[in-house]
Amino acid sequence: MKQRHESLQELGWNDWFEQRAEVSPEETIARVAAVDRDLLLLVDETGQFRARLAGSYLHHHRLAVEFPCVGDWVRVEKQPGSDLGIIHALLERKTSLRRKSAGATIDYQMIAANVDYVVIVQSCHFDFNLRRLERYLVMVMDGGAEPYILLTKTDLVEAAVLEKEIADIRAAGITIPILTLSNVTEEGIRELEHLLSAGSTYCFVGSSGVGKSTLINRLIGREMQETKSVSGTGEGRHTTVRRELIRLEGGALVIDNPGMREFGVLCAEDGISKSYADISTIAAGCRYRDCTHTGEPGCAIQEALDSGEITRAHIDNYLKLRKESEYHEMSYAEKRKKNRDFGRYKQSVNKGRM
């Protein structure tokens, strides 16, 4: 078992997973490289193979967050004479990247799991949006990964524009590292490659057309014709259609991610507190512990607004995200209760038939 785990280290396995893994002699450990409807593409020390979820797993798990996603580690049985593995269990996740499902559905959509670093990609040209960047940071912080900001297409803007965008990020209290890059001039490529270390997993997230796929194609040496030329607006026309775990020549693992048009937060209070650490620190000085920061006497946030220490847009986005997360959290708790009640009802029906 130990020798096998050592070989899995190249795929991101480490002591954290080793201490939590319980595997029977009939099972092996593999990592999810891609999900194609009912089939999953797994990778282990022998290479890639396909697998499906065991019937017992499907019977006991109904929530979207409980199903394997790209980056997960699973316990799988390779049956003799079959090319298809059977997944019996999902190992505990060290980190997760998830958002509220698009539309009116109140549920999680898993984006990736066991990611060490998340690179939030925005274009300096048309895509730069500070409020959206703060939403991404909430998602990353809530899941436990370490974030980086990557500003792309620097060749399409003047140096003064780039400097202002970076200054706006810092003025919003965001202190995480910022990288800049141009796929055209290749400025910044070497700095990004230096960041990618062997055995670590990186997920690239951002809107469609910001240059994620072009960049990852370059990193893995894929032919560049797979990414179409940019349109007249400067935005790329290639779209990643699925998430896939890819191992680079230098040993780092990267996950490309389809662009997200809609991005809601769900049960992300911890991520909001971490992402808005400046506001949380100031709010500790409020007169009332349950201060809503909307006009109460002795509100330290209001004083910081009046003095110019923080901006109105910054606090408004913080309050909006908190309200959104709390609303969705109540709806999600109600959905889980209904699922539990339905499960108990099915159990009672089955017992009555015995």
246-270 pLDDT, tens digit per residue, is 999 899 999 977 766 555 555 556 7
pLDDT value at position 226? 41
Query: Domains along the chain?
Result: 2-90 (2.40.50.140), 96-256 (3.40.50.300), 269-348 (1.10.40.50)
Distances (CA, A) of 243 to 153, 192, 204, 256: 23, 21, 10, 6
Question: What pLDDT was estimated at residue 224?
Answer: 40
Query: How high is the pLDDT of residue 351?
Result: 57
What pLDDT does residue 223 have?
A: 46
The residue count for the chain:
354
List of the chain residues with pLDDT < 70? 1-6, 100-108, 222-242, 259-269, 271, 327-354
Q: What is the per-residue pLDDT for 101?
A: 57
pLDDT at position 189, please?
A: 92
Do the bridges between strand 84-90 and strand 96-100 make them parallel or antiparallel, or are there none, so unpaired?
unpaired
Q: What is the pLDDT of residue 333?
A: 57
HEC readout, 116-146:
CEEEEEEECCCCCCHHHHHHHHHHHHHHCCE
Q: Which amino acid is at 98?
A: R
- Predicted pLDDT at 286: 87
Strands in the chain per DSSP E:
28-36, 39-44, 47-53, 73-78, 84-90, 96-100, 108-113, 117-123, 146-152, 178-180, 201-206, 244-247, 253-256
For residue 64, CA distances in Å to 108, 110, 143, 205 come to: 6, 7, 16, 20
Identify the DSSP state of 352.
H
Q: Can you read off the two tokens belonging to residue 295?
A: 């006009």
State the maximum Cα–Cα separation within the chain, in Å, rounded to a whole number: 75
- Residue found by looking up tokens 């370490």 in the block: 146
Residue 147 has what DSSP assignment?
E
How many whole angstroms separate alpha carbon 210 and alpha carbon 213? 8
pLDDT, tens digit (0-9, with 9 covering 90-100), for 144-174: 999 999 999 999 999 999 999 999 999 888 9
pLDDT score for 348: 56
The mean of the pLDDT values for the chain is 81
Is residue 172 packed enough to be buried (19+ CB in 10 Å), middle (13-18) or exposed (0-12)? buried
CB atoms under 10 Å from CB of 271, counted, come to: 21
Q: What is the pLDDT of residue 259?
A: 64
Q: Which residues contact 162 (CB under 8 A, 6 or more apart)?
A: 124, 151, 154, 180
Q: Quick check: helix, strand or coil at residue 189?
A: helix
pLDDT at 1: 35
Helices (H), 177-311: 189-195, 212-220, 269-275, 277-283, 300-307
Map tokens 């959290």 to a residue: 329
